[in-house]
Amino acid sequence: MSRGGTHPSDRLGRLAFSSILSMRDAAHEAPPAGGCMALLIVKLDQVIGNAQAWREAFEAQLPDLPVRIWPDAGDLKEIEYLAFMHPDFDQLPTFPNLKAMFSRAAGVEDIVTHPRLPNVPLGKVEPPGGDPMMTEYVVMHVLRLHRDMPNYQAAQAKRQWLRVPIARPEQRRVGFLGFGMMAKAPALVLQSLGFKVSAWVRSPRPAAEVPLFHGRDQLAAFLGQTDIAVCLLPLTAETEGIFCAQAFAMMPPGAMLVNVGRGRHVVDGDLIAALDSGQLAHAALDALWPEPLPPESPLWLHPKVTIMPHVARRPTVAQLVTEMVANIRSLEAGGKLLQEVDIALGY
């Protein structure tokens, strides 16, 4: 063999070493077990934005995540995330590698009670600090009732120059039922304007920025010192029908209600009776049951009721994707969902 030649065993050795390097590099580039991670949007594109808007938003924020639009799910083994509003799990297949689900629904009561709910974490797609739209909406309705705007508008329709006593903010007590992320921001805004603000929650909590009442045992005391009640509760078996004749009787005469929770928090017949008797002065309802409210409902034309077609907040596709991406990154880093639903509690 010539001086510059190579022994066959040397060539075999180099080939073997090269093969090992190639296998190592391939292992680093291989997709995770279970295939290519993907997110499936289930009919959410039909109520907010469109399929193209969702794909573009994810492409801008998490370009490595394939986004699929139902019913084009592709390989079911690759679906690790679901995003929806009101899913029909009976119509969905099983996703063997599902990691988490994201709900845009205002409430999740119909989701957590579904018999085919996948056994993975469920997260609400909401900003951790609340939504400015919800804040300004709640503050708007409280100020509108505080300044007696419904009566002034009724007087204008009759061409009456109405002069009535006017209350100052420090003379008005605003009580929030629920003190989560959507309630805290408007509560603090109203407090900054001089209103006396308190809140009622399900169970004891550490001291907060406003006085807190908790549990059924303290509900009467809370309602008894509330001139304007703001409902931002989740709908559960314990909170359904919480605004009934008994609750209205606990409130000061002439109290008012703002419901931006769920329609079934309010017993409509009891509300109308309380308004007709003067126990309540006005009710602003953004959540009703059923929705849309039937034309024959007496709430439509009641002079002491403001009906709003469930428009408290409307997030954009980009905002929703931002929240989903933050949750996905948290999970992929070994953390938890940022706004995880407690299935047992129902919210």
- Read off the CATH number of the domain in which 106 is found: 3.40.50.720
Judgement on whether residues 294 and 156 belong to the same structural domain of the protein:
yes
pLDDT-derived band at 26, boundaries 50, 70, 90: very low
Question: Is residue 103 a part of any domain in this protein?
Answer: yes
Which helix (H) or strand (E) covers residue 306, if one does? strand 305-307
**310 in active site:** yes
Query: Are 119 and 246 in a shared domain?
Result: no
Q: How far from 193 is each of 88, 187, 257, CA to CA, in Å?
A: 44, 10, 19
Does 279 lie in the same domain as 138? yes
Q: What is the pLDDT of residue 128?
A: 82
User: Both 166 and 121 in a single domain?
Assistant: no
Q: Are 270 and 294 in contact (CB under 8 A)?
A: no
Query: Per-residue pLDDT tens for 133-179?
Result: 999 999 999 999 999 999 999 999 999 999 999 999 999 999 999 99
Question: What's the mean pLDDT when you consider all of the chain?
Answer: 91
Is residue 68 predicted with pLDDT exceeding 80? yes
Please indicate, yes or no, whether residues 114 and 52 belong to a single structural domain of this protein. Answer: yes
Residue for token pair 């003067």: 278
pLDDT value at 13 more than 50: no
Candidates 147, 173, 302, 310; catalytic one = 310
Q: Verify that 319 and 238 share a domain, yes or no.
A: no
Report yes or no on 253 lying in a domain: yes
- Residues 278 and 138 reside in one and the same domain: yes
In a domain, 259, yes or no: yes
Measured CA to CA, the distance from residue 321 to residue 323 in angstroms comes to: 5
Given this model, what pLDDT does residue 19 score?
Answer: 40
Active site residue 168: no
Range(s) of the domain holding residue 168: 132-307
Single-letter amino acid code for the residue at 96: P
Model confidence at 22, in pLDDT bands (50, 70, 90)?
A: very low
Q: Is the pLDDT of residue 12 over 60?
A: no
**Total domains in the fold of the chain:** 2
Candidates 253, 328, 309; CA nearest to 67 is 328
Same domain, 144 and 120: no
Q: Does some domain include residue 63?
A: yes
Identify the burial level of 237 via C-beta atoms within 10 angstroms of its C-beta, where 0-12 means exposed, 13-18 middle and 19 or more buried.
exposed
Domain match, 302 and 179 both: yes
Exactly one of 68, 202, 262, 265 is catalytic; name it: 262
- Residue 81, H or E segment: strand 79-84
Q: Give the H or E element holding residue 247.
A: helix 245-250
Same domain, 226 and 142: yes
**Radius of gyration, CA atoms only, the chain:** 28
Residues 266 and 144 in one domain: yes
